[in-house]
Amino acid sequence: MHNCEVFVKTGISFADHHEALTHIGERMVQEGIVETTYPQALVNREAEFPTGIQLEHHAVAIPHCEATHARSPAIYLIRPDTAVEFFQADDDGTIPASLIIALIVTHPAEQLKLLRQLFSQLQDPVFCESLLTVPEEQLSALFKSRIFISSPEKRSAA
């Protein structure tokens, strides 16, 4: 996933999570990152398996769908002006997501590794706060520096 492109959008508002997902789908199709089937697959997956996650101080949403809809790996970080209500992954309620991290992967095994690393890093309140406050032009570099770090196994094998 180190060759993964990271897109960033701030200064945007959405009426609800469906509008946010529609935006993600349309933008990723425009960028050539995904197949034309991706936008609907993303909406369908979110309806069946919600991705809102309540963290210690903030809430995030991590929408994604099957790798068959992706052309190349990417992450789309969206920091909306106002939090967007997403249904919780582990509950029937909703949470106000102040950060949306859309994952586009081409290999299912990569998605699992990426999700594990992401969940691990999102447990750090300082990192989460940084994602929400750094200037837009620094957001991609900050994200990459914490999410695409080498695993201990890879470092010791070198």
**Residues 38 and 69: beta-carbon distance below 8 Å:** yes
Which one is catalytic: 17, 23, 58, 64? 64
**Is 64 an active-site residue?**
yes
Judge residue 92's burial from the number of C-beta atoms within 10 Å of its C-beta, 0-12 exposed, 13-18 middle, 19 or more buried: exposed
Task: Single out the residue of 132, 116, 117, 134 nearest to residue 57, CA to CA.
Answer: 132
Structure token pair of residue 105:
């992967």
Q: Which residues are catalytic?
A: 64
